[in-house]
Structure 1
């Protein structure tokens, strides 16, 4: 990767911050183009290695034991800071889904048993987490910079249409990309946390969102989890 030319040096506490193609911050690997390829490859490798242990646990435990180990030791690895990289390409995200499917095979769980053990798809869990985070951003006194990311509420339509009738009373304006023209870049923007979370949020009926209050966060998460299944 060629170095970026003609940019001023980045300073921190009097020291020049060197320009690198990737950096790791709080356990998440950020690339210069926010492609998340390296980060998800690292997750996939570690989670895949841990999944192998499930084969040896079968003769020792009933199914509940390996499921608990999978959730706490393997799935948690694949769900660390997911909102930061949920806009990654489908190719890299599907690698995580393969690990969960492999884990279910090793444990011996069919589709119905997976539901009983609360093993929803990873994409479903990321969507629930995104909607829940957007809920919290609207009802908690968070940092002003984070609060400013919440789009304004949609104004009532001048005339009623089928689409406007489907929108909940808390529906938000969709974020608009700035200075993006390439279709590939626009698709990446649409998959990122805020645009994706707003799209999920606007698809929810008013009965699922209910009233946005601090006391209602947990019940909202339960409702949206049930609705999106």
Structure 2
């Protein structure tokens, strides 16, 4: 009558009932066993229609996306862009511009259209300068033990006296 052919290997059986009697269905010569869960168009249905598996999957995916956002915020917090900056911070300006472009691009990604405030990010060069000055302070003033090999000897100012003629 309808002349419709179904593919039995693609067909799944989800028995939604309170009955404890096992159900077995023969479909185009293939016996279909009831399954606990069936996914249809991205939604996971279970035999009790609680959608527990579907919601757990949504939560896992959302957690993964939040982890990606966390990594992005970490980058925006400049920790990733500042790693070992004292070693490479004195490089040519044209190379440092590449990192600053990354920071600007990430700020644009999180900025909402029409937002009253843009994300507040300190300039990376300023943060590198502060990091360098912090190390100098720890070496010269605070005299941190593990940094003592970097300590510069204190130079005595030359005191000149006038010669009496």
Superposition TM-score, scaled by structure 1 size = 0.33
Superposition TM-score, scaled by structure 2 size = 0.44
- Using CA pairs under 8 Å that are at least 6 residues apart, name the structure with larger relative contact order, 1 or 2: 1
Instruction: Name which one, 1 or 2, has greater alpha-carbon Rg.
Output: 2
The structure with the largest helix share of the pair is 1
